[in-house]
Structure 1
Amino acid sequence: MATSQVETVTTGADKAKLGVAAALVIAALAGFYLLGKQGPYAQWGVLVVGIAAAFVVFMTSESGKEFIAFGRDSWKEVKKVVWPTRKEAIQMTAYVIAFCAVMAIFLWLTDKTLEWLFYDVILGWKK
């Protein structure tokens, strides 16, 4: 059984990029709240530009590149999925609903049987 190990090496520059991205998000949020008197356009403009800049910096880091690769691999896997037809989906939904109804009836009957057994037969408490 062969296992492959992935070793992640984080450089100082990569850590700095992540720090800058985090600082840009914090600055964008601070700018949003500090520019409250300037109007909503200024607030939202600073927020959108700051988060976009943080996103660009993050995507240039190793973590961002791994995130992009993960997204590509995930999309390839989603394309491999064989989705059920409408008829199959309706049939499976009907099976689940029928099973739930049967189980509900079974549990209700079990509850009532145990209630009758304990309260009426064993304890003799008549309702």
Structure 2
Amino acid sequence: MADKIKFALALLLLVVGVAGFYLLGEQAMIIRVLAVLAGVAASAALAWQTEPGREFFSFAKESTAEAKKVVWPTRKETLQTTGLVFAFMVIMAIFLWVTDKSIEWALYDLILQWRKS
């Protein structure tokens, strides 16, 4: 139950930080931004004290570590893959155009012209 109360207070701090941005509308922009950042920091600090908050921060840390392990393709691989995609797109466009014209010919020239005569 204490975790739920802490989490609710963390959300409240976040809302207060964002509301401070609008309530301090006549102040300098830096003060307004600092109000939002203070609300976010206080909210994150309080959320970190809850069990779900600790699990989330652990998950975020592990996700960052996994993202660093990603192997990006080289420039050559990227250009080859892009070329294949464009070639396939052209082939499909030609195929669909031929199919469309064939159906148009079959419907218009054969069927509709046959009915007129």
Q: Secondary structure at the match of 2:26?
A: helix
Higher relative contact order (CA 8 A, sep 6+): 2
Deviation at 1:101, TM superposition (A): 0.7
Answering whether residue 47 of structure 2 is matched by residue 58 of structure 1, we say: yes
Most deviating of 50-59 and 67-76: 67-76
Relative to structure 1, is the Cα distance of residues 51 and 89 closer, same or farther in structure 2, using a 3 angstrom cutoff?
same
Partner Cα separation in structure 2 for residue 78 and residue 42 of structure 1: 35
Deviation at 1:77, TM superposition (A): 2.8
Answering whether residue 95 of structure 2 is matched by residue 95 of structure 1, we say: no
Give CA-to-partner distance per residue, 1:45-97, whole Å, 9 cap, x none: 22221121112112222222112221232233334433322212211111111
Give the letter for the 2:71 counterpart. Answer: V
Relative to structure 1, is the Cα distance of residues 59 and 108 closer, same or farther in structure 2, using a 3 angstrom cutoff?
same
Give the letter for the 2:5 counterpart. Answer: A
TM-score (norm 2): 0.84
Question: What is the RMSD computed on CA atoms of the aligned residues?
Answer: 1.9
Give CA-to-partner distance per residue, 1:8-44, whole Å, 9 cap, x none: xxxx121111111111011112222222233333322
Higher relative helix content = 2
How many pairs were matched up? 114
Give the letter for the 1:76 counterpart. Answer: A
Q: Secondary structure at the match of 1:38?
A: coil
Answering whether residue 59 of structure 2 is matched by residue 70 of structure 1, we say: yes
Relative to structure 1, is the Cα distance of residues 85 and 105 closer, same or farther in structure 2, using a 3 angstrom cutoff?
same
Where in structure 2 are there 5+ consecutive unaligned residues?
none
